[in-house]
Amino acid sequence: MNPFTPTFGTSPPLLVGRDGDLADFREGLQGGPGSPERATLVTGLRGTGKTVMLNAYEDVAGEEGWLVISETATPNLIDRITHEHLPRLLSEIDPRQTESHLTGVSLPGGFGADREVSARHTPRPGLRSQLNLLTDLLAERGGGGVLITVDEVHRKGMNDLRELGTTIQHAFRERRNVAFVGAGLPSAVDDLLSDEVSTFLRRADRRHLRTVRPEEVAAAIAVPIREAGRDITPDALQTAVAGTGGYPFMIQLVGLHAWRADSAAATIDVDQARRGVDQARRKVGQLVHASALADLSDVDRSFLAAMAHDDGPSRMADIATRLGVDATYAGQYRLRLIAAEVIEPRGHGLVDFTLPGLRDYLREHAASSHWGPEAALPPVERPALPGVDQERRQLPGPPDNTGGRGLPR
């Protein structure tokens, strides 16, 4: 069976590069109320393994004897926690799971009594009261706590997250064994924290998921292959590692497709690894790059298309020339895209893509997109880019120095 799992939210056969984060979290649970890791926000680009990290945090909590409530920041979050998760956990751990009431007495033929038995923990409102009751019961049993994880946090879930944050903050003040881990895109988390949220969310420990070191990527690919009964040559492993760019989702994609290249072969060679990398790059474009680009404005995407002309880091002067704008205007979009973590600075006046394979994806798709160059990449010097002039006309004045926050989306 192919050991690799390139499905969003599915834990890989070997999680690498995150040992320090998980060790810190374990220490936070063991350290008692007040440990900073008991309120954690995990951020990262698409495909960096945010949901996988939530799974790993939940596993650590389970190993430490904690109960887990796993949720996503979709509508009715608080209702689900209050009326589904907490009653379920209470019914599982409370030794007094049912209560009975005497409903009648019968005497003919002997003494007898009728009793009505009902469940004590029927769904009822009150997030804080239910959480308090659960932590009290755990304390009576001698230990453990409650971990609540929430995936895909964003401003749209503000009301539920505010109520959840307030409840957890009270639990912290009462030194209850409660922990919270939320995960989301960096821009979504920053947007959320800029609004009126509970203090504890602003003070939460931040863990930003980045790319994985080459030696860890090598282990993440080679170990599952060998444990599944096959092998991979050193050169093939090097090819596969380089093809991932250290990007966690690409590790699983490359592994999956290198394995599939010739599943009957006992050993994966360089040719199979190359085929795996090529196929993985096509898939990551469909699954990650398209979604990442969909969140950007037309001019943001035009900026990236202008970058795709280059085989390596792009000069800002060249990007401005290709867009037909001045350096100050281009610089505002540079700041926006850096904040969105789609690009990163690479020295004075240079920027490059953060997502592996995004340059190739843009070269394949920009020419046919309404926001991209009208001619094929990379020969075009100054492509016509619909949307640039229109957005410039919408500006109330010269671009400001606010990092692009005032620019139109």
> For residue range 2-55, what is the model confidence (pLDDT) as tens digits?
999 888 778 889 999 999 999 999 999 999 999 999 999 999 888 889 999 999
Domains and CATH numbers, the chain: 19-93+127-209 (3.40.50.300), 214-293 (1.10.8), 296-394 (1.10.10.10)
| Least confident stretch, 17-26, 114-123, 293-302 | 114-123
Round to whole Å and give the CA distance between 115 and 98: 12
Q: Which has more pLDDT, 106 or 218? A: 218
Neighbours of 303 (CB within 10 A): 29
Round to whole Å and give the CA distance between 301 and 310: 15
3-class SS at 377?
Answer: coil
Q: Give the per-residue pLDDT at 95.
A: 64
In the numeric block, which tokens belong to residue 88? 């379920």
Q: Give the per-residue pLDDT at 393.
A: 33
In the numeric block, which tokens belong to residue 282? 């096509």
Q: Give the per-residue pLDDT at 397.
A: 33
| Contacts (Cβ under 8 Å, ≥6 apart) of 239 | 270, 273, 274, 277
Scanning the structure block, which residue is given the tokens 């401005």? 320
Going by C-alpha positions, the residue among 305, 347, 340, 348 that lies closest to residue 323 is 305
- Cα of 284 vs its chain's centroid, Å: 16
Q: Give the per-residue pLDDT at 107.
A: 53
Does 124 score more than 90 pLDDT?
Answer: no
Does 114 score more than 60 pLDDT?
Answer: no
Does 266 score more than 60 pLDDT?
Answer: yes
Give me the chain's average pLDDT, please: 83
Q: Give the per-residue pLDDT at 403.
A: 41
Average pLDDT, stretch 211-234?
A: 96
DSSP string, 237-274: HHHHHHHHTT-HHHHHHHHHHHHHHTTT-SEE-HHHHH
The band of 113, judged by pLDDT with boundaries at 50, 70 and 90, is low
Q: What is the largest CA-CA distance in the chain?
A: 103
Q: Give the per-residue pLDDT at 244.
A: 94
Q: Give the per-residue pLDDT at 203.
A: 86
> For residue range 301-351, what is the model confidence (pLDDT) as tens digits?
999 999 999 999 999 999 999 999 999 999 999 998 988 888 999 989 999
Q: Give the per-residue pLDDT at 340.
A: 81
Q: Tell me how long the chain is.
A: 409
Q: Give the per-residue pLDDT at 210.
A: 86
Average pLDDT, stretch 363-385?
A: 48
Round to whole Å and give the CA distance between 157 and 361: 32
The band of 380, judged by pLDDT with boundaries at 50, 70 and 90, is very low
- Considering 96-100, 125-129, 277-281, the range whose residues carry the highest mean pLDDT is 277-281
The band of 108, judged by pLDDT with boundaries at 50, 70 and 90, is low
Q: Give the per-residue pLDDT at 118.
A: 56
Does 387 score more than 80 pLDDT?
Answer: no
Round to whole Å and give the CA distance between 322 and 77: 46
Neighbours of 216 (CB within 10 A): 20
Does 147 score more than 70 pLDDT?
Answer: yes
* CA-angle at 149, arms to 148 and 154, nearest 5°: 125
Round to whole Å and give the CA distance between 221 and 304: 31
